[in-house]
Structures are given as C-alpha cells and as structure tokens.
C-alpha cells in the first residue's frame, strides 16, 4: 500500500503528540525527584502546615517541601509561584495518594491534564477518601467524563469525609466574589472592562431582575443600543446612583456619580490616553471626554508624578507621595511572574533599612523601594532570593538555585509584569 503525503503528515502529528505526552511524564518524574531533594526533615506529617521551613503541596501524606525552593522551581518553569506550587502539588498528589492513576499516567494510558483534573478534587480529601477515588476512577479515567470525576469525589466525601463536606459548603459561601478587571496584560484598549463574579443564588436573582429592569427603562427612554449594551449601561447606572441598594452608612456616597482620578499622558500620535492610575490602562480619548461630560461624574486631574524623580525621607516609613510614586511605577508585585496588585503589596527596602543606624543601611528612597506581595516579601527576606534594579521599573532577580530573571513592565501591556529569563538556554 502506497503512503500518501497526507498520511505521512498525519503520522508526523501523531508522533509529535506522543512525544509531547511522554515528555510531560518525564517532567512529572523529574518533579518527584526534585521533591525528594527538597523535602524537609519531618517529611511526612498528618496536619497541613505552612511556614518558613516547609509547606505541604499535596494532600495529607505527601512530603513536606521547602517553601522557597518551590518558588524557585516555579520561576524556572515560567510559572507564577501559585501556579508552580499547584503543579508540584498535583504531581505529588498523583505520586503519593493516587498511585493507580499515577501508574496509568506513567504508562501513557491517561493524559496528564486529565489526571490533574482528579487531583484538583482530591487535594483536600482524607487519605481514605482519596484512595477510594483512585480505586474507582483508575480503570476508566481515560474515557471517563468530568461529571464522573465529580460524582465519584462526592461519593468519597459522603463515605469517608463528612468534615470535608461541611468545609466545602462553607467554602462555597466564602468563595463568593465580584471582580472588575481593571488593567492587565490582555486588557482591551477600547474603553471597556471585563467584570466577573460568583453570587449566592438569591443575590444573583435579585441582580438579574434589577439589570433587566434597568435595561428596559433605558429602552423605554429611547436608548437605541443593543440589549447587551443596555444591560451594561444599567449596571453602570446602578453603580453610580445605587438604584436598588441603600447600604452606604458612611455618607461618602451621598452625592452619587462616579469619581475618576486621572494622571493622564496623551500621545500626540495616538487616539489613546495612557492612565497612570493603579489598575488603569489605555483608554480612548473619546472615552475620557465622555467621562468628563457625564452628569454626576467627579473628575480629579492630578499633577503627573515623575516616576523617575528620586524622592527620599530619613524615616523608615515612606511619605504619602513616595508611596504613591512607587505604586504608580510598579503597579504590582515585582517578583518573577507575580501579578499581585499594588493595593495588596508591601513596600520593600531592596537594601534593608537599619533602624538602629539609618545611615548604615538602605535608604527610604525611590530607587530603594519596590512592591512585593507578602509571600514574596518573606521569600526575599528569609531566603536566598535576591534582586537588583538597574533602572527604574526594571528588576533583576537571582533565585536560590542561581537562575536569573528580569522583570519589566510596558505601557502597552497594562503595566503587568513581563518576566524574561536571563540565563542562556541549555545546549541542544
């Protein structure tokens, strides 16, 4: 039988996919070997712990791992600390608690992504419940559905882990959230912002009724926008005037309307305005004009803070202007691959401040202050992680293993961090 070019190309794709799957398994096995090298002395514990010495990155029964070494591996893999720790956790969960599924993965009978989907459900289960899930799913996981995974996990919880059932019920209530995604690397530049949220059922029903009524009212008043646009506008009106809620007890919201604080840079060759506000990005000049002309809107134009100006104080605590400058410059945590926003970060003295003898330590000044979230502030303070700043807004990090990374920000990337490895790639 003659081989056609199409058949050859198809086989090449199949071979490439098989090689990629095998490489994923090799990576998992390497992570297990890495974990053995970085396990803390009291390697197996019964209770979840978190501290400077180590952290459990899988379920109960998995080895305790050096916390800051995990951040090192995550950065080396091009992941955030959270993403890297989750990758390690899923790997250890497979190796130590879901051993039948692990064997299926190593034999290339179950893809890694599907095995990780099980791990995400079992990390908080007791050892007995996880073993039940492993026994029930391993024979059929290759062709099984996500619904089957969820049903099996629910059955395991009912049989072996009533405490986990209650914890999940409480967690579902705690996980309610509402986010307005200002800025970001993929933020649109057309004057719109994505909004996401998780509400209780009763709150969601009330919100839907309010938005539907608001959109209908706009239509009755002659608004010609699409139905979706009217719903969006209705939410904006609710935010400005609290049409359905009267919860403000501070008196701050009595005037209604939106408040916009602007540090604006207008490019003569562009129709965009670049905002230096924390969480801000690029908006159309027309959008800025609409903000200023909308009834009930309070617009505050602040003098542009020179982000390259050196501001200093003799005290350990920075002045309000210095805090504002550093937050506008960095926007979020400057650790490799971290995107924790400025409002959740500490101001770190890159060269430590000496409170006993201020002249002998690092100064409280623009060039010596950077934003670090609490997790990475601890890593910098208590481990071998080190960093330097060759120029404003550029940070060169060295990990405990000696790998180097550069963190920068760009105006066209919503000022979210861009992490670039500085080490030469390995020889092929």
Closest CA to 315 of 291, 286, 349, 339: 349
- Pairing status of strand 272-275 against strand 177-180: unpaired
| pLDDT exceeds 70 at position 291 | no
- pLDDT in the model for residue 370: 94
Task: Show me where the domains of the chain are located.
Answer: 11-172, 176-244, 256-304, 312-421
- pLDDT in the model for residue 201: 73
C-alpha angle 108-110-113 in degrees, rounded to nearest 5: 110
- pLDDT in the model for residue 411: 46
42-67 pLDDT per residue, tens: 644 444 444 456 778 888 888 889 88
CB 406 within 8 A of CB 414: no
- Pairing status of strand 272-275 against strand 282-284: antiparallel
Phi and psi of 235, rounded to 5°?
-65, -40
| pLDDT exceeds 50 at position 409 | yes
- Pairing status of strand 386-391 against strand 364-365: unpaired
- 3-class SS letters over the chain: CCCCHHHHHHHHHHHHHHHHHHHHHHHHHHHHHHHHHCEEEEEECCCCCECCCCEECCCCCCEEECHHHHHHHHHHCCCCHHHHHHHHHHHHHHHHHCHHHHHHHHCCCCCHHHHHHHHHHHCCCCHHHHHHHHHHHCCCCCCCCHHHHHHHHHHHHHHHCHHHHHHHHHHHHHCCEEEECCCCCCCCCCCCCCEEEECCHHHHHHHHHHHHHHHHHHHHCCCCCCHHHHHHHHHHHHHHHCCCCCCCCCCCCCCCCCEEEECEEECCCCCEEEECCCCCCEEEHHHHHHHHHCCCCEEEECCCCCCCCCCEECCCCCCHHHHHHHHHHHCECCCCCCCCEHHHEEEEECCCCCCCCHHHCCCEEHHHEEEEEHHHHHHHHHCCCEEEEEECCEEEEECCCCCEEEEEECHHHCCCEEEEECCCCCCC
Q: How confident is the model at residue 279 (pLDDT cuts 50, 70, 90)?
A: very low
225 CA to centre of own chain: 34
Cβ-Cβ contacts under 8 Å for 23 (sequence gap 6 or more): none
328-377 pLDDT per residue, tens: 888 889 999 998 888 889 999 999 988 777 777 788 999 999 999 999 99
Closest CA to 65 of 84, 98, 81, 88: 88
Neighbours of 307 (CB within 10 A): 15
The mean pLDDT value for 221-234 works out to 89
- pLDDT in the model for residue 32: 96
Give Cα separations from 104 to 26, 36, 123, 133, 153 (angstroms). Answer: 14, 22, 19, 14, 19
| Total-model pTM | 0.70
| pLDDT exceeds 80 at position 274 | no
Mean pLDDT of the chain, nearest integer: 81
118-168 pLDDT per residue, tens: 999 999 889 999 999 999 999 999 998 999 999 999 899 888 888 777 777
Burial 211-237 (b: 16+ CB within 10 A, else e): beebbeebeeeeeeeeeeebbbbbeeb
Least confident among 55-59, 170-174, 288-292, 352-356: 288-292
Cβ-Cβ contacts under 8 Å for 123 (sequence gap 6 or more): 58, 59, 89, 90, 93
CB 64 within 8 A of CB 40: yes
β-bridge partners, 371: 347
CB 309 within 8 A of CB 320: no
């Amino acid at each position: 039988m003659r081989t056609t070019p199409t058949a050859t190309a198809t086989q090449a794709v199949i071979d490439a996919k098989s090689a990629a799957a095998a490489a994923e398994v090799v990576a998992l096995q390497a992570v297990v070997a890495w974990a053995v090298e970085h396990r803390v002395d009291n390697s197996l514990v019964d209770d979840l712990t978190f501290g400077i010495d180590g952290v459990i990155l899988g379920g109960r029964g998995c080895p305790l791992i050096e916390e800051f070494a995990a951040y090192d591996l995550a950065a080396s893999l091009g992941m955030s600390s959270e993403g890297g720790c989750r990758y390690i956790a899923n790997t250890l969960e497979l190796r130590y608690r879901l051993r039948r599924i692990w064997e299926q993965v190593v034999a290339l009978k179950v893809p890694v992504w599907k095995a990780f989907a099980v791990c995400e459900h079992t990390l908080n289960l007791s050892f007995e419940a996880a073993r039940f899930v492993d026994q029930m799913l391993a024979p059929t996981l290759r062709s099984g559905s996500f619904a089957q995974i969820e049903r099996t996990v629910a059955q395991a919880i009912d049989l072996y882990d009533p405490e986990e059932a209650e914890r999940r019920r409480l967690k579902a209530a705690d996980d309610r959230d509402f986010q307005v995604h200002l800025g970001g690397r993929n933020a649109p530049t057309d004057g719109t912002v994505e909004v996401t949220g998780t509400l209780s059922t009763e709150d969601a029903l009330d919100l839907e009724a309010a938005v539907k009524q608001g959109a209908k009212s706009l239509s009755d008043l002659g608004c010609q926008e699409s139905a979706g646009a009217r719903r969006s506008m209705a939410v904006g009106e609710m935010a400005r005037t609290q049409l359905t809620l009267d919860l403000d007890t501070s008196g701050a919201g009595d005037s209604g309307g939106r408040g916009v604080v602007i540090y604006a840079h207008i490019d003569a060759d562009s129709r965009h305005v670049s905002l230096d506000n924390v969480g801000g990005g690029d908006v159309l000049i027309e959008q800025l004009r609409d903000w200023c002309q909308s009834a009930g809107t309070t617009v505050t134009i602040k003098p542009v803070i020179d982000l390259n100006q050196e501001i200093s104080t003799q005290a350990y605590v920075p002045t309000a202007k210095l805090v504002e400058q550093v937050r506008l410059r960095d926007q979020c945590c400057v650790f490799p691959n971290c995107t924790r926003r400025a409002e959740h970060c500490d101001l770190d003295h890159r060269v430590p401040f000496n409170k006993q003898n201020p002249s002998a330590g690092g100064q409280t000044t623009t060039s010596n202050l950077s934003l670090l979230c609490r997790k990475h502030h601890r890593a910098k303070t208590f481990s071998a992680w080190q960093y330097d700043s060759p120029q404003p807004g550029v940070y060169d990090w060295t990990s405990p293993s000696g790998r180097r990374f550069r963190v920068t920000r760009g105006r066209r990337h919503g000022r979210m961090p861009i992490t670039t490895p500085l080490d030469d790639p390995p020889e092929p």
